[in-house]
Amino acid sequence: MTLVVILNVFDAFKMSSKLPSSWKFASGNFWYIGQVTKIYSTPAWINWVMFIGVIIWEVIAGFLLWQALFTFDGSSYKIVNLAFLINLALWGAFIVMDELFQAWAAEIGGSNAMESHRSIFTTFLICLVALHVLPNG
């Protein structure tokens, strides 16, 4: 998640002309948002609000994952559950937005975001279940 945040922040800088257009170390997600949301002629400022909102959500999700990693002692799952809940909500929100903007119909640049979002959501869910079901030993 940390790398995703970094790449998205660089993408925001690149798309706002704070970095040159030739800058390669960026996610490309803002451009992708624009491609997917154009089905409704979504204004650029709404795309910016969504993108910045996602970055903030990812920062919180990443922070909680790091906190869970360094503080989990095998007995209290409170921070682990919170970290996974925030991440599952993020990826679930992406899946809802994929449906809303019909991203499933927009295979852009050889990538299908909906499949990626579902895969990541499912992986987080399986990991959370495994943490609760498998023995600690």
Residues 51-69: what's their mean pLDDT? 97
Instruction: Please report which confidence band the pLDDT of residue 46 belongs to, taking 50, 70 and 90 as the band edges.
Output: very high
Domain that holds residue 78: 2-133
Per-residue model confidence (pLDDT) at position 84: 97
d(CA 52, CA 30): 10
Q: Which residues are bridge partners to 111 per DSSP?
A: 108
Does residue 113 register a pLDDT over 90? no
Per-residue model confidence (pLDDT) at position 114: 81
d(CA 83, CA 43): 32
For the chain, the domain total comes to 1
Q: Which residues are bridge partners to 108 per DSSP?
A: 111
Tens of pLDDT, residue by residue over 67-80, are 999 998 888 899 99
Residues 32-49: what's their mean pLDDT? 94
Per-residue model confidence (pLDDT) at position 111: 63
Positive or negative: CA dihedral 98, 100, 101, 102: positive
